[in-house]
Structure 1
C-alpha cells in the first residue's frame, strides 16, 4: 500500500476533526480530552464538545476511568461490518467451535487493527459466563495472549517498529510494561508455540493464544481460549497444544481453502 493511501488527509473542518478522532481511537485503548484535542488539531474545550457529540451518537463511550473515552458501539458496529467480510472471519468459525468443544472453554479468533486485537468470532464455553469477551471487543497487544501471539509472528524489523509505537500501559500488577521484558516474553512464546496471559489485563482472567499466518507468512490473526485464571492456568498444558493446532489448521485453511477440514486431535 502506498504512503498516499495510508497517510491521513489534512484536518480542515468539523467532519475532518471527528474522523481524525475516530482514526486515533482505533489505534488507542482509550483517550483523554487532551489526547483527543491533539488528534483533532483543536483546543481542549472543542475536543471535549466533539467527544460529547460523538458519545451522543454512539461512536464514543465514557470509560470507567473519569475523563477518558473509548470507542462506542456504533463505531464497533461499523468495524464489524468490514471485519465480518474478512477471510479469517469466514473460515475460522468451524475450527473455533471444535476447539471450544475440546476444551469446554470460551474460544475465539481475533485480528489486528492498529494497536489492538479485535475479536471477529467467539464460541462461548460450556463453563463460561455469558458476559465474557464479545465479538467486536478490542484488546491491547502487549498484555493479552492474542496480542502477544500476533506480535510473536511479526518479522524482526516489523516487530521492532511496532514495539516502538506501543504504549505499554499497566492494567494489573502482572502487566508487562517494558520493551525488553516484552521481547523476552515473545521469544518464550515462539519456543512454546503459544502465548500466555496470566492475569495481565484482568487479574481474574487467564488465556492462551497462537498466531495464524497468511500464505505470505504474515501474521493475520490469533486463536485463543480464555476463562477464569486459576482454571486456565491449571489446564494450560492441555489447552495450549490444542490452541496451537487450531491456529495451524486455520493457517492451512487460509492458504488452501479447498483442502479437507483439519481438526486438532482430542486424544
Structure 2
C-alpha cells in the first residue's frame, strides 16, 4: 500500500484513492490493487463516495470525485509556481508551443502552457484533457507507471511496451502524427521526490516544421527544462 503513517484507516483510505487515481476500479479491482479485505475496501470506498471524494462512472466503477478538485484548488502547487518561467524559456529557445501535463486517471491534463506567438501553431488549451494512449506526453506519463497500469492502458494505445522501454532508456519521447494528424511532439519526464514522476514537459508543432525526428533537436532543451523544474521542486 505504499507509505505507512501508523494510522491504519488513513493508510487504507489513501491506498484506495491512489488505486482509483490509477484507473477506474470496481470493488474487485480495489481489493486486488490495495490488498485491503473486500468488506473494508467496500466500506471505505462508499464513505469516500458520500464525501464526493469518489464517484462512479457509467459502468459503476469508482473514479475520482469532484471534491478532490475542489480541495486541490486551494492547495499550493510548487510545480505550477515555477512552471511559467521555465515553459517560456523552452518556447523561446525551441521556437515552438510548450505544455506541461499531469496524469489524471486514464487521461493527461494540460496544467500550464506557453504558446508560440506567431506562425502555424498547435494550441493545447489550459485544462485540456487528452488520452494516455497517444502522443509523446502520454508515453512519458505512462513509461514509469506500474506494470499493471501499463498493461491496462496499452490495450488501446498507439504505442507499445517497447516504445515505453525506449522512453525510459533515453529519458524522452517523441511522436509523429500519433495523437493528431500533421502534428509532432517531444516530451521529457519531470521527477519529484524519490524519483516519482510528477509531470511531462512537451513541445508540439506541425510536422513540416519539427521534422520526422524531432527528438534529436528538442530533447536536449526539454531535458534541461525538466532538470530546472526538478531543482525548483527540491
Calculate the TM-score normalised by the size of structure 2.
0.69
Match of 1:206 in 2: 184
Distance 1:81 1:228, change over 3 A: farther
Match of 2:130 in 1: 139
Shift of 1:127: 4.1
Please give the secondary structure, in 2, of the residue aligned with 1:136: coil
Shift of 1:188: 1.3
Q: Which of 207, 210, 218 pairs up with 1:232?
A: 210
Shift of 1:250: 0.9
Match of 1:106 in 2: 97
Is contact 2:122-2:204 (8 Å) kept? no
Is contact 1:83-1:120 (8 Å) kept? no
Match of 1:184 in 2: 162
Is contact 1:105-1:127 (8 Å) kept? no
Provide Cα deviations, 1:104-151, integer angstroms capped at 9, x if missing partner.
Answer: 110011112122221111000134557721111112223121121122
**d(CA) in 2 for partners of 1:186, 1:105:** 24
Match of 1:56 in 2: none
Q: Which runs of 5+ in 1 are unaligned?
A: 25-35, 41-74, 177-181, 256-267
Calculate the TM-score normalised by the size of structure 1.
0.62
Is contact 1:206-1:226 (8 Å) kept? yes
Distance 1:110 1:12, change over 3 A: closer
Match of 1:9 in 2: 46
Give the alignment's Cα RMSD to 1 decimal.
3.1
Count the aligned residue pairs.
Answer: 191
Q: Which of 38, 51, 55 pairs up with 1:20?
A: 55
Shift of 1:185: 0.4
Provide Cα deviations, 1:132-191, integer angstroms capped at 9, x if missing partner.
Answer: 211111122231211211223x2xxx5202113326436xxxx23xxxxx2210121123
Distance 1:84 1:206, change over 3 A: farther
Shift of 1:37: 4.6
**d(CA) in 1 for partners of 2:132, 2:231:** 24
**d(CA) in 2 for partners of 1:109, 1:132:** 13
Provide Cα deviations, 1:7-38, integer angstroms capped at 9, x if missing partner.
Answer: 5326999x97xx624xx4xxxxxxxxxxx153
Is contact 2:184-2:210 (8 Å) kept? yes
Q: Which of 95, 112, 116 pairs up with 1:125?
A: 116
Distance 1:104 1:79, change over 3 A: farther
Is contact 2:177-2:184 (8 Å) kept? yes
